[in-house]
């Protein structure tokens, strides 16, 4: 019998978040496993030009996300198109994510760390919503209609939060660090809005890597589900 590939599911707020947070890890996983993205908002407000049409920004950013994902070997990118800057921990979003977890059946779920001191409200609200959705996906008595459409309860094995202030697990990305940088560069529309990003990524991955004796590493906070 053919062995099923391990599935990793990255659920993040914006089109460039997966590569910025853990592009090196994603590149390592896709060597042997399947990776899916769920992007909650297509980042339509991510422009500094007041004359830009939000529809054009979405189109560009979704294209960049798909291109970066393809470059890293990701199997599929799913866009939920919630409003940029106003993602909320609401029931509909929990249900969308829970249903997709039951459908995709990931071994690992990766999202933002809601406890990290970070400015962006979308990163916090996405993270809280994912945590709530994991429980809805796991237990029998949430939303019985899911059973009727064939989505049985599913418990992922691992939950990883990143970036994090307190990593308890470091993934060695020395072999894929350059690929991570190239993948971030595919998000052309965003680079001018991320001043000094390359230096910051280098410093963070070096610092995280040092904790486990790697040249470059990506740090995660691993939680049990």
Q: Which residues bind Zn ion (CB under 5 A)?
A: 13-14, 17
Q: Radius of gyration of the chain from Cα atoms?
A: 17
Name the DSSP class of 189: H
Quick one: tokens of 124?
């916090």
Distance CA(124)–CA(40), nearest Å, equals: 12
Identify whether the C-beta of residue 204 lies closer than 8 Å to the C-beta of residue 180: no
For tokens 């040249």, what's the residue? 215
Q: Whole-number minimum distance, CB 185 to Zn ion, in Å?
A: 17
Identity of the residue, 114 or 153, whose beta carbon is nearer to Zn ion in the bound complex: 114
CB of 188 to Zn ion, least distance (A): 16
Nearer to Zn ion, 34 or 47 (CB): 47
What is the C-alpha separation between 107 and 96, in angstroms, rounded?
18
Query: Closest separation between CB of residue 112 and Zn ion, Å?
Result: 8
143 versus 197: smaller Cβ distance to Zn ion: 197
* Minimum distance, C-beta of residue 76 to Zn ion, in the bound complex (Å): 20
Nearer to Zn ion, 121 or 210 (CB): 121
């Amino acid at each position: 019998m053919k062995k099923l590939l391990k599935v990793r599911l990255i659920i993040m707020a914006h089109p460039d978040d997966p590569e910025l947070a853990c592009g090196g890890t994603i590149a390592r996983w896709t060597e042997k496993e399947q990776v899916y993205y769920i992007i909650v908002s297509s980042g339509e407000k991510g422009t500094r030009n007041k004359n830009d049409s939000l529809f054009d920004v979405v189109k560009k950013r979704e294209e960049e996300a798909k291109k970066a994902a393809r470059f890293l070997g990701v199997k599929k990118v799913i866009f939920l198109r919630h409003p940029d800057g106003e993602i909320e921990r609401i029931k509909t979003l929990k249900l969308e994510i829970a249903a997709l977890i039951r459908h995709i059946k990931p071994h690992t779920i990766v999202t933002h760390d809601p406890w990290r001191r970070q400015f962006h409200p979308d990163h916090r609200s996405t993270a809280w919503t994912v945590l709530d959705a994991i429980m809805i996906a796991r237990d029998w008595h949430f939303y019985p209609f899911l059973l009727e459409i064939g989505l049985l309860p599913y418990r992922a094995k691992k939950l990883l939060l990143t970036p994090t202030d307190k990593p308890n697990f470091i993934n060695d990305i020395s072999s894929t660090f350059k690929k991570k940088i190239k993948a971030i560069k595919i998000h052309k529309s965003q680079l001018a809005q991320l001043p000094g990003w390359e230096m910051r990524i280098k410093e963070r991955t070096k610092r995280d890597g040092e904790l486990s004796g790697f040249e470059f590493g990506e740090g995660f906070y691993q939680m049990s589900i």
